[in-house]
Amino acid sequence: MPTIAVFDSGVGGLSVLKALRTEMPESGFVYLADSGYAPYGERGDAWVDARCQEIAAWLTTHHALDALVVACNTATAAAIDRLRQLHPHLPIVGVEPGLKPALALTRSGHIGVMATRGTLGSQRFAQLLGKVGRHTPQLAQAVQWHTRACHGLADAIERHDTTRIRALCAEHGTALMAQAQAAGGRLDVVVLGCTHYPFVADTIAQVLGTDVALVDTGNAVARHTRLRLAHCATNAHATATTLLSTGSAQALGEAATRWLQLPAASAQAVHLPCRL
């Protein structure tokens, strides 16, 4: 049975872990929340790249892994190429905003993307937009993308600050709708381009309207991970889920209970200092 490490800047990657546990119930998981250093979205690519190298080095040293899932759009954008260079024999799966599924869903031709500033400003995001356009040129030409760097939202979700979550969803969601209106259209699909956001999808839907489809790639990432491992010999380990945090183990445990019904007491703090 494979052992898969999953990491994020904090509790957001639990949305990917949830999908992975459903898709691969026989696997063991090590989830690392880098909550001591969250959020990543405003830190800049160089810092995130270097921090992800530290995390991957720590995980591969302390656990016999069959795969690594970078359950963070910001970290994938900044670091996945380097991680694959440094760990060439380890399957490494990243998370990217679901632009392609959004393109297939839209009827109005106005698609919103909510993500961190790091993700939206990355070269990888620009390449993803270009790639989606090349694969489906007729569709892509008819579509306008509206992006919104949702400053503060991942942090509010990290802290489970419901008042701030509601205020920030209202602020960012309203701004996104206004962008589409200014371009003469109406959003009918919004991509959740940060793994924290699926946990506040209901609040986002209240702002945007329930007829706006929200796209989250957790299930697709889980399927892709299973297929990647189908052809690999695995290390045959236990099937438990281990929860680790560089910040508050209690906060990670509470989030894992709230969203995944995992026992809160199973979360442990780890010492993984940042040398940057």
Residue 217 touching ligand DGL (CB under 6 A): no
Among 24, 27, 33, 39, binds ligand DGL (CB under 6 A): 39
Q: Give burial (CB, 10 Å; 0-12/13-18/19+) of 22.
A: exposed
Residue 12 touching ligand DGL (CB under 6 A): yes
Return the residues of window 108-127 that contact ligand DGL according to CB under 6 A.
116, 119
Among 7, 40, 125, 199, binds ligand DGL (CB under 6 A): 40
Q: What is the DSSP letter of 196?
A: T
Task: State the binding string over 174-213 for ligand DGL (x if CB under 6 A, else -).
Answer: --------------------xxx-----------------
Q: Under a CB-based contact definition with an 8 Å cutoff, are residues 139 and 107 in contact?
A: no
In whole angstroms, the minimum distance from the beta carbon of 117 to ligand DGL comes to 8
Alpha helices in the chain (DSSP H): 14-23, 45-62, 73-86, 99-105, 117-120, 123-135, 137-141, 153-158, 162-182, 201-208, 218-230, 249-260
In whole angstroms, the minimum distance from the beta carbon of 21 to ligand DGL comes to 18
Residue 91 touching ligand DGL (CB under 6 A): no
Residue 218 touching ligand DGL (CB under 6 A): no
User: Looking at the annotation, which residues are catalytic?
Assistant: 72, 194
What torsion, rounded to 10 degrees, do the Cα atoms 69, 73, 78, 80 define? 20
Angle between helices 73-86 and 45-62 (to 10 degrees): 60
In whole angstroms, the minimum distance from the beta carbon of 64 to ligand DGL comes to 26
Q: Under a CB-based contact definition with an 8 Å cutoff, are residues 118 and 77 in contact?
A: yes
Task: Please identify the residue of the shown chain whose CB is closest to the bound ligand DGL.
Answer: 41
- From the CA atom positions of the chain, what is the Rg in Å? 18
Which residues of the chain form contacts with ligand DGL (CB under 6 A)?
8-9, 12, 38-41, 72-74, 116, 119, 154, 194-196
